[in-house]
Amino acid sequence: MRLVVIPGGNDAAADLEERLRFTASLGDVVERGDLLGYHTLGMGKYMRLGLEYALPSVPELGYRLIERTMDLGADLGLNMCYEPGAQA
């Protein structure tokens, strides 16, 4: 299960916990939980198409948020992995 986290968008503790609990409820169907940092790699495509990019500057995930989310996932029995978002 890939869990994209956008600081200031969907990073509320209750939201993350609800998504992780749902993921854990799927049991063995889920091999691992990937915590993904938001990235802006698609921004260039929007610019070339003359479209406005909705989230041009989103801060990186904070260490405490990463740690808390990874720990909660592990406590729920999920094999958690973290992939930081790349910045354009």
Which residue from 66, 78, 64 is spatially nearest to 33, judged by alpha carbons?
78
Query: What is the pLDDT at residue 69?
Result: 93
Residue 88 confidence (pLDDT) above 70: no
**Residue 87 pLDDT > 90:** no
Q: pLDDT band for position 67 (50/70/90)?
A: very high
3-state secondary structure of 27: helix
Quote the CA–CA distance of 53 and 60 in Å, as a whole number. Answer: 17
Q: What is the pLDDT of residue 53?
A: 86
Beta bridge partners of 82: 35
